[in-house]
Chains A and B, each alone.
Chain A
Amino acid sequence: MARYECDVLIVGGGITAAMVSQKLSELRPAWKIIVVEAGKRLFDFDKRFEYRQRNLDYGENQWPGDFVADQGGRGIISRSMAVGGSALHFGGVCNRFSEEDTRLKSLYGLAADWPIDWKDLEAHYCEAEKRIGVSGEPGPLKEDARSQPYPMPPMNMTWNLVQLKAWAEKSGIPFWTTPQAKNTVDGYNGRSKCHRCNTCEVCPTGARYSPDFTYKQLLAGKKIELHDGTLVRKLVLDDASTKIVAAQAVKEDGSDNSVEYRAKAFVVASGYCWSSHLLLLSANSRFPNGLANSSDHVGRYMTGHLAHETRIDLDVKIYPGMNEQHSLISRQFFRCATDKPFVRHDLRVWEAAAGGPRLRDATGGLLLGDDLVSDWRARIVRGTARVRGYFDVHPDKDSRLTLDPANRNKWGDPLPVIQHKIDAASESRQAATLQHFQEIFAQLAKANDGKVGRVSSLGYQDHPSGGCRMGADPSTSVVDTHGRTHDHENLFVVGSPTQPTGGCTNATLTFVALALRSTTEIARSQS
């Protein structure tokens, strides 16, 4: 068995772990930090043009091998398992939540307040934006005031977005561009300016942030050790205290299988699924329901948000494909008057294709050559906008991740199953929320002779989080405001699992900010 000792062991190799290890190495440069990741390191940046092209041409994985075949589960569980995690793929959207997200109970009597002051979180948003490298423009609403400017200027609006902004604002709703983890200046954090390749899920130029860049910098500076291809199966409790003393792992390649890590502090940064999973797997005679789980809250309150979406046909000339991932956003509906029915959501607008080429016309007649092009052109005289809003729903206590004894990996460990369940109050709002969105879509369409298409609803919770929610009360939460588990003084859970609620917009920047805030405490308390 291989054995390693370190000051801090970080379990997980995604964006949260990248940010924690980077900051920790700055705060405590003498510490030995080991990051353990079950998946591989995909440090083959020079091949990304080729991967992108193979994806465009053949639908092949643009991040080849970014998963561990038998580490899956049931429910909404991202299969990304590689150094960089899901943030290898993410589109780079870096919206902030709003103060309302942290005060749902106080303001609306709903869900739970977060045990964190908004100003404190806002400062860490600024830090997260700098470390990731976010380009953006401040919004016009005073409630969205920032203490620091964005690190980079906003990405240009394409012709399409210029037209769509002019249209959308006729409705009286203000829109501006979405902040993104994409370089708009050359050289920020050593990476290129965006070349508008239109394939942000795999950015071939490195303009869109992905955590592999951070890991490569840390490794080059010998700031951390990175043990990839190593699956942590269990955390081990000290016989005489509630401290964690070791992590037991296996090499995924089967070579010299067992590995043991001993550390002063353990940081679980394994995302919304695998963090709770590891704590549950680590059950022992003193914590029979899993580590950090004396409250029986590990794996509970799994959360995220839902969405309604439509396409609006418009009297606007749009050229689809100019920059399909870039969008407009309005945060006007992040706020909800406390004396009105509760509905909170973001509102996004993208360019969209009005119609594509088709082989047969509406009567079933074949279209070849020039006839096909004529048919296509007739259907794209007007433009199309894709409009979507993520809306705030709150988790039931029984929105859970549990272990599935019927589904095990090759090591015999039960795999996770996630069953999301929104709480009764959220359920009771569903019809009113849909009606609200239908009215918003109609308001937008009316502004320029538009027609609203079919309204579709997201059938799952997007941007999932939760499972180890933070709180001041150890009987109703798993970790404190800094991510330290209530049950174990040297065990931290950081990032998305700690979110009590999922907000109503993309969550990456929020859980990175929370993790950076935790890092300060980890550095302080373990010194």
Chain B
Amino acid sequence: MNRRDALKSIAAAAALPSLTRADLGAQSPGTDLTPANISALRALAEVALPSSLGADGRDNAVRRFVAWVRGYKAGADRGHGYGNSQISPPTGPSPAAKYPAQFAALDAAAKAKGAATFAALPAAVRRAVVEAALNEPQRVTQMPARPNGNSLVADFMGLYFNGADARDLAYDAAIGRDTCRGLDGSEKAPAPLGKGLRKSFSGSRRSGK
């Protein structure tokens, strides 16, 4: 592959994970997320993600989570890795199969506090509901490397915080871990995130390998 072809492929790949506004509103049966679920995720993002993301940044995080759920393939080859002796079992059923009950639990907690839905709660109360979801019925101690369905809240947070965007935010630098960036200029420190960059810089997460 020559440089021109490589650059074309990089550009094409960069377009792969993005979703349109229409995607966010789309419904499909099975393990897909409903518009009500997406509203709940937006409300969750307000209390679980950094405030500096702003509305656009939170929307990007929700979009990525929806895209992740929609792109999940059960039974996919997980390989063995370099030098490993064992073949990994294929991917299991979609973690999203466990989400409807958890969305329902968030709404039930909201109703107990006098709101119609989780998304309708005031932010401070919503935070208390989220904390309760991470403490009961089982205490969640960490964000999974990838969503596993055990905790909707931890899955959503993990997908964002384990991603390249969150690392950039934490380091306040455009590291772009998962982006093909070229060698030139890499001897310099990554540029600080500008205010706009902090909100809109997008990328994708990498594996835990």
Contacts and interface: CB of A to CB of B under 8 A. Distances in A.
Interface of A: 45-46, 49-50, 52-67, 69, 72-80, 86, 89-91, 155-159, 162, 184, 186-187, 190-199, 201, 204-207, 317, 319-323, 356-360, 366, 368-370, 372-373, 376-377, 380, 462
A49 B178 contact: no
B162 A356 contact: yes
Interface in B12-52: 12-13, 16-17, 47-52
Given A58-B72, A201-B82, A321-B176, 13 more contacts: A53-B16, A69-B87, A79-B87, A91-B82, A157-B187, A190-B2, A195-B180, A205-B1, A207-B6, A320-B167, A320-B171, A321-B178, A380-B171
Interface string B45-87: 0011111100000000000000010011100111111111111
Contacts of A192: 1-3, 5-6
A46 B10 CA distance: 11
A196 B167 CA distance: 17
B138 interface: no
Interface residues of B, number: 76
Contacts of B162: 356-357
Nearest to B5: A192
B84 to A, nearest CB: 6
B189 interface: yes
A357 B79 contact: no
Given A58-B72, A201-B209, A373 B169 contact: yes
A197 B187 contact: no
Nearest to A199: B206
Interface in B128-171: 130-131, 134-135, 140-143, 146, 154, 157, 161-162, 164, 166-167, 169-171
Nearest to B181: A196
B183 A359 contact: no
B195 interface: no
A60 B91 contact: yes
Contacts of A46: 9
A297 B68 CA distance: 52
Given A60-B79, A76-B85, A158-B186, A204 B13 contact: yes
B71 A57 contact: yes
B57 to A, nearest CB: 12
A59 B13 CA distance: 17
A90 B140 contact: no
Contacts of B12: 49
A359 B134 contact: yes
Given A58-B76, A368-B48, A373-B50, A79 B86 contact: yes
B200 interface: no
A204 B188 CA distance: 24
A413 B91 CA distance: 30
6 contacts: A58-B146, A59-B207, A75-B85, A190-B2, A191-B1, A199-B178
Contact of A60 (B52, B77, B164, B180): B77
A132 B134 CA distance: 51
Nearest to A159: B189
Nearest to B44: A368
7 closest residue pairs by CB, A with B: A61-B79, A321-B177, A49-B13, A89-B82, A357-B161, A79-B80, A195-B180
